[in-house]
Amino acid sequence: MRSYRLAVALALAFAALLHFAQPSEASEWYAAIEDTAQGPFTTEDLRAQELPPDTLVWRAGEAEWAPLGSFAELQAPLQAPAGPPPLPGASTTTVDEREYFLDESGSASAPLTRDEVAARLADGRATPETLVWFDGMAEWTPLSETPLAGLLLSPSSATAAPAPATPTVKAAAPDPQNLLPGRWHAELHEQIDGMGQPIVLTIQFEFGQSGDFTGNASTRLDLSAQGMFEPVDMELTLQGRWSARPLDSNRFELHTQGSQVVRLPALQVEEREEMNDYSTFDILDPNTLRDEDGTVMRRM
């Protein structure tokens, strides 16, 4: 039940938090340039140098030198594109140039392209549960929860099945109104402007038989890059009504209507957003669902 409104509520709460946390532009920085500590620089001066993100920097109050890329205020603003945007209807597909590593019986595979992973899915050497890692990930993650999840819906990744020896009766499509009631959990990753790392929330949902739902999550934010050296607890709660309708044999549309609240108790910050959202889910199995953004929700 991922929603752009969740990102909006988190962004509003984070903006309020920065009111308390934003460091002064007069901060004096030192940078390790050509193996020499150089400075002091103001934030603007250091940003203007466009140093590599792995350049080590330090300022008063920091416990140790840290990569420039870990400080949001040192990131250069994105430049506007030099040319016009793509024409309506033009393809905006980007090439996935990552190198992926797969778990092969406890050992990491050689680096693989997206096409090579697709070939392994096609011949059965990889499955949706195969653990995957690529540069930038914190830990190994099932393939179905990574950018490779799109391959699972690609005809080229489907393994050809032999024709059945005898006629079979097609199983009836599950009714989402009967499938959803119960407790579920999902891990959400939300990138918020002003934070170097995504916010990761493990959120628990409960869908009632009568059409009501609740959700809750909590996490601890590391805001050292914003000048706050004590972590800040964040709480998220959702509640409202739900309904679902089947789209085909393994997909359904979920409608949620209600409210979501983000709280930062230590700073007495609370942001509330009303929601009226529609999401599409694939039914991977009776206990596993995946939305259009690739977020996987599992029954508890």
Domain that holds residue 42: 24-74
Query: Which of the residue ranges 7-11, 88-92, 177-181, 292-296 has the most confident prediction, judged by mean pLDDT?
Result: 177-181
Considering the domain architecture, whether residues 194 and 243 belong to the same structural domain is answered as: yes
Work out the percent of the chain whose per-residue pLDDT is above 70: 72
Is 34 part of a structural domain of the chain?
Answer: yes
Residue 175's alpha-carbon distances to 113, 179, 276, in angstroms, are 38, 6, 22
User: Position of tokens 């195969």?
Assistant: 130
* Phi and psi angles of residue 121, each rounded to the nearest 5 degrees, phi first: -65, -40
Same domain flag for 116 and 229: no
Percent of the chain with pLDDT over 90: 24
Q: In this structure, are 213 and 287 located in the same domain?
A: yes
Question: What are 59-83's pLDDT values in tens digits?
Answer: 877 778 888 888 877 876 555 555 6
**104 has which bridge partners?**
107
Q: Where are the alpha helices (DSSP H) in 39-133?
A: 43-48, 114-122
126 CB burial (10 A radius; 0-12, 13-18, 19+) = buried
- Please indicate, yes or no, whether residues 115 and 186 belong to a single structural domain of this protein: no
223 and 111 in a single domain? The answer is no
Lowest mean pLDDT among 187-191, 200-204, 208-212: 187-191
What pLDDT was estimated at residue 95? Answer: 72
Same domain? For 66 and 111 the reply is no
Q: Is the pLDDT of residue 158 over 70?
A: no
Q: How many domains does the chain have?
A: 3
pLDDT for position 113: 93
CATH number at residue 46: 3.30.1490
Pair (251, 192) in one structural domain? yes
Q: Is 86 within a domain?
A: no
| Partners of 142 in the β-ladder | 131
Contact 287, 298 (CB under 8 A): yes
What CATH number does the domain containing 287 carry?
Answer: 2.40.160
Token representation of residue 215: 């959700």
Residues 161 and 19: their CA atoms lie apart, in Å, by 59
In a domain, 255, yes or no: yes
Q: Please, are residues 205 and 184 in contact by the beta-carbon 8 Å criterion?
A: yes
Whether the predicted pLDDT of 133 surpasses 80: yes
DSSP 149-181: GGGGGSGGGSPPPPPPSS--PPPPPP-HHHHS-
- Per-residue pLDDT band at 4 (split at 50, 70, 90): very low
How many C-alpha atoms does 299 have within 13 Å on its Cβ side? 11
* Residue-level pLDDT at 161: 47
